Amino acid sequence: AIPDTISLDSLKRNDPTFTSLSQFFTSHFEEGDEFEDAKANFVESLAAYSIVTYLLQVKDRHNGNILLDNRGHLIHIDFGFFFLSSPGKNSGFESAPFKLTRDFCMVMGGPDSATFRTFRELCCRTFLCLRKHCLEITMLVEML
């Protein structure tokens, strides 16, 4: 167990006041610095996991495998399926390159917001940074 976390699935099923992730952020984090820090943590961790799960083709990204910590970070768990491995012998399992839900977008203020533009910029910067090390990454992946 990872301390101070809850799965998105548990949050949605077990919190009777839950209506959306955006509403949860608004009610859970105090207005001002705490809220802005939590949103920044969310965006930065979402961007990093988006690129890593895309490059490694991590599958099985349902809400039970994604945690939210008490500072707003998304944390992925259970990496049992990646590359060509997936449940059901790859029968059309997860066609999206990474998990970016409407709920995630609304935490960022929607697709036209400055925060969403920051998310896109972080994804691009992360991808370009990893690209500089593609040979090293490829060698590590080949050892799997």
Structure-block tokens of residue 93: 């399992």
79 versus 30: the higher-pLDDT residue is 30
Provide the pLDDT for residue 90: 54
Structure-block tokens of residue 90: 């790859």
pTM of the model: 0.86
Count of C-beta atoms within a 10 Å radius of residue 15: 13
Provide the pLDDT for residue 59: 73
Structure-block tokens of residue 40: 């920044």
Provide the pLDDT for residue 94: 61
Strand order in the sheet with 66-69: 5-7, 66-69, 74-76
Domains and their CATH numbers in the chain: 5-142 (1.10.1070.11)
Q: How far apart are CA 118 and CA 113, in angstroms?
A: 9
Per-residue burial over 123-137, b if 16 or more Cβ lie within 10 Å, else e, is beebeeeeeeeeeee
How sure is the predictor about 11, in pLDDT bands with cuts at 50, 70 and 90?
very high
pLDDT at 51 over 60: yes
Provide the pLDDT for residue 88: 59
Provide the pLDDT for residue 28: 93
Tens of pLDDT, residues 110-140: 999 999 999 999 999 999 999 999 999 889 8
